[in-house]
Structure 1
Amino acid sequence: MTGCVLVIGESVIDIVRRADGAVEEVVGGSPANVALGLARLGVRVRFHTALARDAHGERVGRHLTAAGVEVVVASWSLGATSTALAQIGADGAARYTFDVDWSLPTEPDPGGAAIIHVGSISAFLDPGALVVEQTVSTADQDTLITLDPNIRAALLPDRADAVARFQRLAALADIVKLSDEDAAWLYPGEREEVVVRRLLARGPRLVALTRGSSGALLASRGGNRLVSAPSVRVRDTVGAGDTFMAALIAQVVRGPSVLDELDPHALDAIGTFAVTAAAITVQRAGADVPTEGEVRQALAR
């Protein structure tokens, strides 16, 4: 491991209601899933989140620390841990209803992290989002920033304010990952290729746009690449995009120079690893992200 990643963002308990009526509770929240994914991929990761010392919060803490995530002590700051109702449709897609409190009474400490990852609800929902933006904007020049908006429209403030904040964060980021649904919400009516070029013009060195079962589009100033997703049987899509994000970050933290050589061949290699990791997750229930060994085995097959 060549560096540490600091992930900043929300943790929730996903109350998953499946199409057959079965209900279960699993640890979730996009940043929490990214932190978990990084740890399982062998990356040293610290996670600054917001939890309560209740049953849900303790469950989140145990789940993450068991995988090797260091949950920052200042994360224990809420009165009640946030929850999300995830309704799973017959197609495996998840639709969410949230009960989220996002505040950060203590500003995150980058602590020499090689990469800071932010995004999802925590990048938009104040008062915590103000702290997140401040942390990113004052990070050391040598610290790489990664961003995944993971739009949850029902929890966002005024749309224009949310778009403006996303664009400010994107301008500070080295890597931006978004889904096709995120792109449609942020830039309605624009073709995905246009959205990617628009974001690259703001400053990121790598933009990845995921397309579900259709794979992903990765782009840099050195070119772009469409990467196909493996054909698999989908159980549910919970955590798929977060797995993709974690896989991207893991490849960069092990070799930051990869961002200086983003030709189509490099984009294809990076994207193939990430879509393969995500394809493993969608075959499982909840955000059960794969290990490095599982991804390598899937690639070999």
Structure 2
Amino acid sequence: MTTSGPVLVIGEALIDIVEKEGGSVEHVGGSPANVALGLGRLGVEVSLLTQFGADLRGEAIEAHLRDSAVRVLVERAAATSTARARIRRDGSAEYDFDIAWGGFGDVALPPASVVHTGSIAAFLEPGASDVVRLIRAAGAAEVTFDPNIRPDLVGARGEVEARFHEIAQLSTVVKLSDEDAEWLFPGKAIGDVLDAVLADGARLAAVTMGAEGAVLATPSGRVRVDPVRVEAVDTIGAGDTFMASLIASVCESGSADLGRDRVAQIGRDAVRAAAVTVSRAGANLPWARELAA
């Protein structure tokens, strides 16, 4: 799949330290960095504006992203952030974070038709306010957003909810996990959550539900997408893979209206891509050639 762009992703890049029985292994991670990686592997022209240290882990991040055709724009941090992931028996992950997310100075943004952000970068100050400023400054036709809420990191609930809606109101595409939906809209049904996201102004909203598939919605209707059954190794990067596929589909569709058939295809492509990532260790997102095979 070769798609148009360019896309600018703004957000954290870090090292996932994945613990399983018998030891640990380090992988490049961070939700926005994973999304950028996935886009590069799908053939989308993509840049990542991020922060990491001038250290060995930072060098590993930069090399890994560039190997997947991502242009890396770095605001240097004192050290590279980490997330320690403990893999449960069902393949899901529990995280402990050592994160720093600072402000951005004057940044020369590359041209972009799509800007994406989410996760820690969208909520953790002092950098989060600058992320919103940069989204506004970019003036992209499409803004995509995945809150990927980390409750222990993002601050008081009221502040997080306000920031979510602030970015959602700038966004044309918003994706949440079912865990995000429950945290942001406690007690609400998935349909009501999608309605709330669309009311903020998105033209496409999605909620992923792990092994139960996903639901996608536009102002004119919604589509349920069945899961692709695979043997789960771990779920790290699955939601980011879904998001990268959504963005690639938006690039491919351009400004065209998203009818039911097109939305269903977008959802199937995203679920299938995420299933590939779940079937292997770490945030190892699929290449276009793998999805075409």
Same fold (TM over 0.5): yes
Q: Distance in 2 between matches of 1:278 and 1:21?
A: 26
- How many residue pairs match? The answer is 291
Q: Which residue of 2 aligns with 1:84?
A: 83
Query: Which of these residues, 241, 259, 278, is aligned with residue 282 of structure 1?
Result: 278
Task: Give the equivalent residue in structure 2 for 1:202.
Answer: 200
Question: Aligned partners of 2:27, 2:100: CA distance in 1, in Å?
Answer: 18
1:158-205 deviation digits (Å, cap 9, x = unpaired)? 111001100110011000001000000001111111000011011000
Q: 2:144 aligns with which of 122, 143, 146?
A: 146
TM superposition shift of 1:43: 0.6
Q: Which amino acid aligns with 1:153?
A: P
- Is 1:8 the counterpart of 2:10? The answer is yes
* Structure 2 counterpart of 1:2, one-letter code: S
**In the alignment, which residue of structure 1 is the partner of 2:69?**
68
For structure 2, the 5+ residue unaligned runs are: none
Question: 3-state DSSP class of the match of 1:77?
Answer: strand
Matches of 1:217 and 1:108, distance apart in 2: 36
Aligned residues of 1:87 and 1:94 also touching (Cα < 8 A) = yes
- Give the structure 2 partner of residue 223 of structure 1: 221
3-state SS of 1:195 partner? helix
Pairing of 1:125-204 with structure 2 (within 5 A): 125-140=124-139, 142-204=140-202
Task: Within 5 Å, give how 1:22-33 maps onto structure 2.
Answer: 22-33=23-34
Following TM superposition, where does structure 1 have runs of at least 4 consecutive aligned residues deviating by more than 3 angstroms?
Answer: 107-110
SS in structure 2 at match of 1:184: helix
Letter in 2 for 1:37: G
Per the normalisation by structure 2, the TM-score is 0.97
The question of whether the paired residues in 1 share the 8 Å contact of 2:28 and 2:64 is answered with yes
Name 1:261's counterpart in structure 2: 257
- Following superposition, the deviation at residue 292 of structure 1 comes to 1.1
SS in structure 1 of the partner of residue 216 of structure 2: strand
* Residues 108/173 of structure 1: CA separation in 2 closer, same or farther (3 Å cut): farther
Distance of aligned partners of 1:108 and 1:152 in 2 relative to their CA distance in 1, 3 Å threshold:
farther
Aligned residue for 1:150, secondary structure, equals coil
User: Identity percentage over the alignment?
Assistant: 47
Q: Deviations over 1:51-77 (max 9, x none)?
A: 1110110110110011111001xx141
- Counterpart secondary structure, 1:236: coil
- What secondary structure does 1:154 align onto? coil
Partner of 2:51: 50
Tell me if the contact between 2:120 and 2:153 (Cα under 8 Å) persists in the aligned partners: yes
2:245 is matched with: 247
Flag the structure with higher strand content. Answer: 2
* Contact kept in structure 1, 2:34 and 2:241, CA below 8 Å: yes
| RMSD of aligned alpha carbons | 1.2
Which residue of structure 1 aligns with residue 267 of structure 2?
271
Offset, 1:109: 3.7
Residues 14 and 84 of structure 1 are in contact (CA less than 8 Å); yes or no, is this contact kept in structure 2?
A: yes
C-alpha displacement of 1:107: 4.5
Shift of 1:108: 4.3
The SS at the match of 2:234 is coil
